């Protein structure tokens, strides 16, 4: 059974600080990983994807992937109240192959003004 | 162009009724996915199509759930004889070839 595990939270972070969200996955065959943000009552929206070991930065967001440890993380710098949401980690096959992705249960992030 | 659309946005059914949920993917997107999301949980995979072919239906919880995409575009998820445990948000997502999935707004199903 392929699984993606996340701490459900809530994770409370002061405004302006760095929020660190973590995720582990069980399937070593997974090659592509995604972070989605989901506001209450809304559908998930993609923040970042990553498929190479190391870091990938996009604005205030940095995704980190460690395939040896089967670990994915998302860092949010200069956290804003608008970042308060549930963050879903997901893993799937190759970026070049049509395949389903498996979601974690999500981590609730609360940015304290 | 327009994003993924789903209808109805909300559906209330009495236990035992059949329901049909519709998904219109982004034009030109080959792959279409259905997920079930219970309150406080992540989306759970139900099934997926590549064009009109249903390539994986391993996530469908029972034979009361049926999905189709006859012309490789619009898809319908049908739930027969609905039960209270079917209450959830049903999300549809589409994808061009591989990689990023784009989600629709979802259909919130409440079974009384």
Determine whether the interchain pair A100/B97 forms a contact, defined as Cβ–Cβ distance below 8 Å.
no
Mean of per-residue pLDDT scores for chain A: 92
Of A49, A98, A106, the CB nearest to B31: A98
Question: Best residue in B43, B47, B110 to probe A by mutation, most A CBs within 10 Å?
Answer: B43
Q: Which whole number is the average pLDDT over A11-40?
A: 94
User: Between the CA of residue A71 and those of A6, A21, B77, B81, what are the distances in Å?
Assistant: 10, 11, 34, 41
Phi, psi of B2 (to 5 degrees): -70, 155
Asked if the model's pLDDT at residue A97 lies above 80, the reply is no
Q: What distance in Å separates the CA atoms of residue B91 and residue A35, rounded to the nearest whole number?
A: 17
Return phi, psi of residue B54, to 5°: -90, 105
Look at residue A94 in the predicted model and tell me its pLDDT: 64
* Rounded Cα distance, B37 and B30, in Å: 23
Specify the long-range contacts of residues A94-97, CB closer than 8 Å, at least 24 apart: A94/A31, A94/A32, A94/A51, A94/B98, A95/A31, A95/A32, A95/A49, A95/A51, A95/B98, A95/B99, A96/B98, A97/B98
- Distance from C-alpha of B56 to C-alpha of B49, rounded to nearest angstrom: 7
Q: Name the 3-class secondary structure at A82.
A: helix
Nearest to B48 among A94, A100, A105 (CB): A100
Residue A1: pLDDT over 80? no
Q: With contacts defined as CB-CB under 8 Å, which chain B residues touch A105?
A: 40-42
- d(CA A29, CA A12) in angstroms, rounded, equals 33
Residue A92 scores a pLDDT above 80: yes
What pLDDT does A104 receive?
94
Residue B92 half-sphere exposure, CB side, CA atoms within 13 Å? 31
Q: Does A44 sit within 8 Å of B99, measured CB to CB?
A: no
- Using alpha carbons only, give the angle B13, B15, B18 rounded to the nearest 5 degrees: 60
Residue B30: its chain A contacts at CB < 8 A?
A: 98
Q: Which of A88, A97, A100 sits opposite B56 (nearest CB)?
A: A100
Chain A neighbors of B51, CB-CB under 8 A: none
CB contact under 8 A, B91 and A94: no
Residue B1, pLDDT above cutoff 70? no
Assign A10 a pLDDT band (cuts: 50, 70, 90). Answer: very high
Q: The tokens of A98 are what? A: 């049509």
Q: Tell me: the pLDDT tens digits for B17-74?
A: 999 999 999 999 999 999 999 998 999 999 999 999 999 999 999 999 999 999 999 9
- Residue to mutate among A56, A94, A100, with most B CBs inside 10 A, is A100
Residue B45 and residue A88: Cβ atoms within 8 Å? no
Mean pLDDT for A76-93 is 94
pLDDT for B40 equals 87
Q: 3-state secondary structure string, A2-19?
A: CCEECCCCCEEEECCCCE
* Confidence label for A28 from pLDDT (cuts 50, 70 and 90): confident
Report which of B31, B36, B28 is spatially closest to residue B83, judged by C-alpha positions: B36
Confidence of residue A58 (pLDDT cuts 50, 70, 90): very high
pLDDT at res. A27: 86
């Amino acid at each position: 059974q392929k699984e993606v595990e996340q701490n459900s939270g809530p994770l409370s972070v002061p405004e302006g600080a760095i929020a660190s969200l973590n995720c582990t996955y069980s399937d070593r065959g997974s090659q592509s990983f995604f972070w989605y943000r989901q506001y209450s009552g809304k559908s998930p929206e993609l923040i970042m994807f990553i498929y190479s070991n190391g870091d990938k930065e996009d604005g205030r967001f940095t995704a980190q992937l460690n395939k040896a440890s089967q670990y994915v993380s998302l860092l949010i710098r200069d956290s804003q109240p608008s970042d308060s949401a549930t963050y879903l980690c997901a893993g799937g096959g190759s970026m070049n192959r049509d395949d389903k992705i498996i979601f974690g249960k999500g981590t609730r992030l609360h940015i304290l003004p | 162009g327009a994003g993924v659309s789903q209808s109805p946005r909300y559906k209330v059914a009495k236990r035992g009724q059949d329901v049909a949920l519709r998904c219109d993917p982004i034009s030109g997107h080959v792959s279409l996915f259905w997920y079930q999301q219970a309150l406080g949980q992540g989306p759970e995979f139900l099934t997926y199509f590549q064009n009109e072919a249903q390539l994986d239906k391993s996530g469908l919880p029972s034979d009361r759930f049926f999905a189709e995409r006859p012309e490789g575009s619009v898809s319908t998820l049908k739930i027969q004889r609905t039960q209270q445990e079917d209450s959830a948000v049903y999300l549809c997502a589409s994808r061009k070839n591989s990689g990023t999935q784009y989600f629709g707004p979802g259909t919130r199903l409440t079974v009384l």
